[in-house]
Amino acid sequence: MKSLLKRMSKRAHIITPINAPFPTLRGADIGAAFAGNRHGGDFYDSFRVNAERILFGLLDVAGPRGSNLNIFSMAKKVFRDAGEQLLEPLGSNEPDALIELCLRLNRAILEAACMAHSCPAFVGCYNEDLGTVCYFNAGHTPGLVRHSSDTSVLGATGLPLGLFSHTTTDARIVALETDAALVLVSKGVVEVSRKGEEFGLNRVDEVLQAHRNGGAQNLCSSVLHAAQHFSSSRIHDDLTSLALIRTKN
């Protein structure tokens, strides 16, 4: 990890914090960042659905960004409209709501694309009162959760969206203790390569373990800086990271 940080100090890469209107959380912090030019299909969003729940997501629509604008528009509309409808009622069951949201997103992507169109997606609902994240991972790069003593890998719970009309998924729950951090990265981050070796998820975890101070946006920037500096040959585009940190109350 020290050698990685040393290489990071030698070159400056442009990391852009995402100044989207992410919600202010009670006892937690959420943020995102991207690196390079946005040629591909990374889509990210987060908003408050009620007094205790925040919905967030990172989607990777296959293909060039310019040719997928209708899919982006439809996915964002369904993400927000259906997310609020399903999760706003305080008595709603989070796993059931996330599974239904997955089904609706899948149908929307298929309809917008008019054909099968792969869209890996990670969508989570953070419950401020409980300190838990209910999530589904539809063929997306695994999420990582740093606990006090180990790391949880939030692997796929189903196939990517946009492939089959009757796709199914599971929704799972992970608890975040105080100072725990969840980080998501796009496929482009783990696929950054140097001499045939990929940056990989293990190096994302190294940055996650080393980042003990600063907010969620700083964590995202640290991950992307590490990925960019891992490759000494060129600056990579379409690198996105989203993080959620549970802070001390």
pLDDT of residue 4: 46
pLDDT digit string, tens, across residues 50-100: 999 999 999 988 766 666 788 888 999 999 999 999 999 999 999 999 999
Give the integer Cα–Cα distance in Å for 99 and 102.
5
Question: SS3 sequence, 108-143?
Answer: HHHHHHCCCCCECEEEEEEECCCCEEEEEEECCCCE
**Of 105, 101, 102, 110, which is closest to residue 162 (Cα–Cα)?**
110
pLDDT of residue 146: 97
Q: Provide the CATH number for the domain formed by 2-246 in this structure.
A: 3.60.40.10
Report the side by side order of strands in the sheet with 15-17: 15-17, 28-35, 239-246, 181-185, 143-146, 151-154
**Of 184, 142, 133, 137, which is closest to residue 161 (Cα–Cα)?**
137
Q: Per-residue confidence at 9, pLDDT binned at 50, 70, 90?
A: very low
Domain boundaries, given as residue ranges, for the chain? 2-246
pLDDT of residue 147: 96
Residues in the chain: 249
DSSP 236: P
User: Is the CB of residue 239 less than 8 Å from the CB of residue 228?
Assistant: yes
69 C-beta neighbours (distance < 10 Å), count: 11
**Of 84, 133, 90, which is closest to residue 104 (Cα–Cα)?**
84
pLDDT digit string, tens, across residues 17-59: 555 578 999 999 999 998 866 554 678 899 999 999 999 999 9
**Of 50, 47, 48, which is closest to residue 91 (Cα–Cα)?**
50
pLDDT digit string, tens, across residues 138-192: 999 999 999 999 999 999 999 999 999 888 899 999 999 999 999 999 998 999 8
Question: SS3 sequence, 156-207?
Answer: CCECCECCCCCCCECCEEEECCCCCEEEEECHHHHCCEECCEECHHHHHHHH
pLDDT of residue 7: 46
Q: Per-residue confidence at 196, pLDDT binned at 50, 70, 90?
A: confident
For residue 249, what is the enclosing H or E element? Answer: none
pLDDT of residue 72: 82
pLDDT digit string, tens, across residues 205-232: 999 999 988 899 999 999 999 998 887 6
User: Average pLDDT for residues 225-240, to the nearest whole number?
Assistant: 77
Contacts of 236 (CB under 8 A, 6+ apart): 35, 36, 188, 192, 227, 228
DSSP 67: G
What's this model's pTM, rounded to 2 decimal places?
A: 0.89
